């Protein structure tokens, strides 16, 4: 069977990169002999490089001038049968145009590129997604409206626009990362007759309204502990910007429940290993959510400024969305006051119902 070379251009936020791996099974099913190369940012490469359906991963320093163009020099040696361009940045649009030559080879490109007149635009087949974004041919106001009206998950949208079956994301981990997670749980004596719940309630520094406050996180943890008759333990998760808030949460819970801070400087692989050990993850709309889904870990996720409809849970959890008027407004100061323990705890209990004694 002859090879069918496919190039995926997807950098952006780490969670977006990881959830895009859901297109891989469908691409391989539609294109026998598919050989997928994935270009992404250096920092995201570990999210895809071990995936069994990715033949090659190319990491680039996307913020370094000329880095994408230099990667293009290397990629130009292949006659790509399909180029899937899922970013709207200037240099990536230029790269898609260079490698797919949309005006000369129609049908090769799906996604964003640069027109001859210099405008960035996108092919009509990917309108279901790009119509809601910064490049929307309908303008920003209509794009925002379409995003608020949308009720289809991103994986479903991607599958529809690429003409493939919807698949699931997958985050493949090396054995040492899985061992790291198991060792952490054993070292702290966790999951001995209790469910282990991860708390990832921050969201970095940009989106204050994505976060659950320290106070509400503590209230939720205590209420869930009481509702489970004490049969629950907690692991605090987050990145470098969560160090201070996680320390505050740990201090507030100390002596009241078992709560262990997993640290905020774990590698992507080690973070995946930790998440893999959880019985449930309570999380903001962040990388942790996508890691949990890609590792098939149950999760309850809360949303205020962003769209819960875009998330496909694959039967692994549910969303708790703000009921404030500015829900899904993509405002960094969106009202998240309706995301309360009274709504989060019942959702967590539903997904812990089949987890007696902390054993999945």
- Each residue of 122-136: pLDDT tens digit? 999 999 999 999 999
Angle at alpha carbon of residue 140, lines to 288 and 211, rounded to 5° = 25
Q: What pLDDT score was predicted for residue 358?
A: 46
The DSSP 8-state label assigned to residue 286 in this structure reads S
* C-alpha 283, offset from chain centre: 12
How many Å apart are CA 36 and CA 311, to the nearest integer? 24
Q: Kindly give, in sequence order, each residue whose CB lies less than 8 Å from that of residue 114, ignoring residues fewer than 6 positions away.
A: 90, 93, 94, 96, 97, 120, 121
Token look-up 């799906």 returns 110
Asked if the model's pLDDT at residue 359 lies above 90, the reply is: no
Query: Do the Cβ atoms of 43 and 14 come closer than 8 Å?
Result: yes
Q: Which long-range contacts (CB under 8 A, 24 or more apart) does 138-145 make?
A: 144/330
Taking all residues of the chain, what is their mean pLDDT, rounded to a whole number?
94
* C-alpha 293, offset from chain centre: 8
DSSP 170-213: -----HHHHHHHHHHHHHTT-SSSSEEEEEE---TTT-GGGSPP
Q: What pLDDT score was predicted for residue 157?
A: 95
Which residues make beta-bridge pairs with 283? 200, 301
What is the pTM assigned to this prediction? Answer: 0.95
Q: Which fold is adopted by the domain 4-162? A: Rossmann fold (3.40.50)
Angle at alpha carbon of residue 146, lines to 141 and 152, rounded to 5° = 160
* C-alpha 224, offset from chain centre: 26
DSSP H helices, 279-324, are: 287-294
Residue range(s) occupied by CATH 3.40.50.2000 in the chain: 176-358
H helix or E strand, kind and range, residue 281: strand 280-283
pLDDT tens by residue, 59-91: 999 889 899 999 999 999 999 999 999 999 999
Q: What percent of the chain is predicted at pLDDT more than 90?
A: 88
CATH architecture of 176-358: 3-Layer(aba) Sandwich (3.40)
DSSP 223-284: HHHHHTTT-EEEEE---GGGHHHHHHHHHHHTTTS-EEE--S---HHHHHHHHHT-SEEEE-
Instruction: Tell me the Cα Rg of the chain.
Output: 21
Q: What percent of the chain is predicted at pLDDT more than 70?
A: 98
Q: 249 vs 24, 54, 136, 260, CA distance in Å? A: 38, 39, 41, 10
Q: Kindly give, in sequence order, each residue whose CB lies less than 8 Å from that of residue 195, ignoring residues fewer than 6 positions away.
A: 228, 231, 232, 233, 279, 280, 352, 355, 357, 358
How many Å apart are CA 164 and CA 259, to the nearest integer? 43
pLDDT tens by residue, 199-243: 999 987 778 899 999 999 999 999 999 999 999 999 999 999 999
How many Å apart are CA 120 and CA 109, to the nearest integer? 14
Q: What pLDDT score was predicted for residue 2?
A: 66
Residues 237-258 have a mean pLDDT of: 96
Query: Do the Cβ atoms of 253 and 235 come closer than 8 Å?
Result: no
How many Å apart are CA 143 and CA 162, to the nearest integer? 20
């Amino acid at each position: 069977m002859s090879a069918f070379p496919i190039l995926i251009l997807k950098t952006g936020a780490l969670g977006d990169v990881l959830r895009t791996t859901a297109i891989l099974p469908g691409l391989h099913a539609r294109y026998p002999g598919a050989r997928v190369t994935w270009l992404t940012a250096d920092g995201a490469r570990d999210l895809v490089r071990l995936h069994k359906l990715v033949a090659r991963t190319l990491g680039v320093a996307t913020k370094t001038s000329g880095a994408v163009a230099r990667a293009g020099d290397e990629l130009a040696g292949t006659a790509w049968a399909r180029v899937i361009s899922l970013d709207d940045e200037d240099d990536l649009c230029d790269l898609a145009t260079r490698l797919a030559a949309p005006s000369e080879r129609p049908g090769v490109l799906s996604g964003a590129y640069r027109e001859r007149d210099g405008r960035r635009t996108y092919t009509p087949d990917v309108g279901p997604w790009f119509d809601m974004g910064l490049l929307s041919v309908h303008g920003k106001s209509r794009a925002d409206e379409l995003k608020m009206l949308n009720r289809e998950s991103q994986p479903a949208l991607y599958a529809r626009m690429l003409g493939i079956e919807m698949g699931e994301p997958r985050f493949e981990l090396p054995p040492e990362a899985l061992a790291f997670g198991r060792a952490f749980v054993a070292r702290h004596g966790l999951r001995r007759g209790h469910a282990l719940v991860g708390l990832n309630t921050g969201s970095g520094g940009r989106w204050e309204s994505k976060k659950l406050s320290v106070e509400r996180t503590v209230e939720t943890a205590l209420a869930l502990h009481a509702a489970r008759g004490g049969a629950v333990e907690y692991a605090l998760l987050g990145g470098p910007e969560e160090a201070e808030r996680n320390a505050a949460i740990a201090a507030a819970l100390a002596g009241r429940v078992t709560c262990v801070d997993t640290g905020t400087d774990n590698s992507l692989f080690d973070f995946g290993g930790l998440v893999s050990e959880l019985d449930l993850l309570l999380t903001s709309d962040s990388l942790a959510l996508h890691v949990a889904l890609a590792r098939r870990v149950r999760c309850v996720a809360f949303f205020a400024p962003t769209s819960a409809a875009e998330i496909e849970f694959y039967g692994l959890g549910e969303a708790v969305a703000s009921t404030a008027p500015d829900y899904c407004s993509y405002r960094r100061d969106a009202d998240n006051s309706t995301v309360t323990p009274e709504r989060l705890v019942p959702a967590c209990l539903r997904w812990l119902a089949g987890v007696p004694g902390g054993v999945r």
